[in-house]
Structure 1
């Protein structure tokens, strides 16, 4: 297992710094571009914290571990970071990986502020050790279901692969749509190729197809097949999990990347801090920052506030979650206990349904907000 730190972040062993362990997918099969954006936000926030004196005069330091979308690797990284004496954990993008990390952090008594994973059941039992910035999947996907109905879609096909995350998404959509006359038709991608998906869409008279599958494949191949099938000229393709957010999507699909609505966790207008951070992130990334980069920045902003107020004692950190009130890039961040959610939750970050503009695929259109 490669657990070497990011080349951008040096590890100190002299005890002079306050260290945060960062869990980030940086290699395949992890979503590398999401990992890069998450790490950029984390690193920028650490730089900003240190520019104003760090934590009570001590520099803040990231100790980065690549999870590569592997739950076992993430759990091992949590063990290692705990031994290294980090004050808290931050990060992770993939929900199934974050769940493994959260379970291990809870068992070890190590505070974990999850940046981007949305699976409702992040831990099996309620825990004081874990908090989350991203909205729970049930919250965001309900907003997406509202969008589908408001756009006139009641027969929704979902191309789905086996995963706890995708299965939860199907269940949420069905629970939201069925009482309002909607139908969810599951297309098992273990048994279908992209051409067969097209036939199923025609046979089931679906007006929308949602991609609950991995990126780039089979998502890219499904989009290309559907776009080229004249029988499906009117069908809407959607990707609630956010695959079209990243430039890799547009590069892979060209003009076919547009008009595919997805969930994004940004407000219509960033806070003044967010505007400044957006400029710095754009320079760091060489491209427009995704909402994942803002999640990374906000994660460190919250942890720095907690560490300044109560020091690096792990138990004190967990006692602080309900008292957090931090102005982040996307609004004021507070944590509370939310029904059905086992961790301390920011309820709620802003949620949008957006797509890439067919006339200008690098520009996003806000279609719905919740």
Structure 2
């Protein structure tokens, strides 16, 4: 009697590609530079997977869709990718966009491995369909608040746009700082010009201003205004969301862009794999890779391992997050259920507070880590 082949055996004899959908912000108002780095990491890992035999003999194919920081567009892209038969969806940088994509993937029964978005509540209810590599916003922004207190800043202003991401960040900062004697002052950027922000900082006696605003503007305009106001020479500028990580920040602001601390998800030392990948990414990007590029690479490394081990059935992928143990560029990746987090979470990637060295703006200084 002939027995039917197992799913993995059937896949091994099928020469068609295994498709992974990729959501990446490549055009404005999306943070296109972050998207370019994320895509570089995704593509490099796909190439290496295919150079080493693909997925059980089948080539891995990346199907890229530009999210452009638009939640509606991202949700529609998830629908399209599901119809195209992708085994999983990967990527996305913007938290609000990733939340829309995660909700749609959960509804469709499509595995989604989120590379970079950090909102704690990535889905409304706990789900097995979504996993995440980046640390949740609460963990990173609490570490940032500890850095501010350690640097002597207890009266902190936030220049904030209207967004669930910025509002959540402000709440995390306030909840963490208030019991420790810190104060958060909200400046509504829908009503204030950069010059008016400077006046508010003086009136409120703030010693630090955090940029919880769109990029490049109004973030760049606010930095320039503060740097040129002699009344604010001692005020610390900060950007916890990571704007100064990318070369465009330095190009737009020059020396004004130095000494602006931000969050970066890298360890003190990369793994041997990370060191090799860093070199390849530098060649691919023609500049130093950001942490976002490493997140992209690690995303594919995880999905390739899952697909090789469990096949391309979507339900089997969603059931496999708990068994993942993959050596990534920044350490071994394992997922777990974490209190307060609705998706499978890597607990935890390393977090640093970093800035550009005023004496050498192309060099980063690690100010705090956790």
Compute the TM-score of the two structures, normalised by the length of structure 2. Answer: 0.96
Taking the aligned partners of 1:115 and 1:90, their CA distance within structure 2 comes to: 7
The DSSP-based 3-state class of the residue aligned with 1:29 is: coil
Taking the aligned partners of 1:35 and 1:63, their CA distance within structure 2 comes to: 15
Residue by residue over 1:227-269, the C-alpha shift from the partner in whole angstroms, topping out at 9 and shown as x without a partner, is: 0000000010000000000000000000001000000000010
The aligned counterpart of 2:66 is: 66
Q: 1:133 Cα deviation (Å)?
A: 0.2
The aligned counterpart of 2:351 is: 351
The aligned counterpart of 2:98 is: 98
Pairing 1:32-47 to 2, within 5 Å after superposition = 32-47=32-47
Q: 1:146 Cα deviation (Å)?
A: 0.5
Are residues 1:244 and 2:244 paired?
Answer: yes
Cα distance change of structure 1 residues 15 and 79 upon mapping to structure 2, 3 Å threshold: farther
Are residues 1:366 and 2:362 paired?
Answer: no
The DSSP-based 3-state class of the residue aligned with 1:214 is: coil
Residue by residue over 1:92-145, the C-alpha shift from the partner in whole angstroms, topping out at 9 and shown as x without a partner, is: 000000000000000000000000000111000000000000000000000000
Structure 1 gaps, min length 5:
1-13
The aligned counterpart of 1:3 is: none
The DSSP-based 3-state class of the residue aligned with 2:320 is: helix
Taking the aligned partners of 1:67 and 1:161, their CA distance within structure 2 comes to: 20
Equivalent pair of 2:15/2:58 in contact (CA under 8 Å):
no
Taking the aligned partners of 2:15 and 2:88, their CA distance within structure 1 comes to: 15
The aligned counterpart of 1:181 is: 181
Equivalent pair of 2:15/2:57 in contact (CA under 8 Å):
no
Are residues 1:120 and 2:120 paired?
Answer: yes
Taking the aligned partners of 1:351 and 1:78, their CA distance within structure 2 comes to: 30
Structure 2 gaps, min length 5:
1-13
Residue by residue over 1:135-175, the C-alpha shift from the partner in whole angstroms, topping out at 9 and shown as x without a partner, is: 00000000000000000000000000000000000000000
Taking the aligned partners of 1:337 and 1:18, their CA distance within structure 2 comes to: 28
Taking the aligned partners of 1:54 and 1:86, their CA distance within structure 2 comes to: 15
Q: 1:15 Cα deviation (Å)?
A: 6.8
Taking the aligned partners of 1:16 and 1:117, their CA distance within structure 2 comes to: 31
The aligned counterpart of 1:144 is: 144
The aligned counterpart of 1:52 is: 52
The aligned counterpart of 1:279 is: 279
The aligned counterpart of 2:30 is: 30
Pairing 1:167-246 to 2, within 5 Å after superposition = 167-246=167-246
Taking the aligned partners of 2:20 and 2:241, their CA distance within structure 1 comes to: 27
RMSD between aligned residues: 0.7
Taking the aligned partners of 2:147 and 2:276, their CA distance within structure 1 comes to: 31
Taking the aligned partners of 1:218 and 1:31, their CA distance within structure 2 comes to: 14
How many aligned residue pairs are there? 357
The DSSP-based 3-state class of the residue aligned with 2:178 is: helix
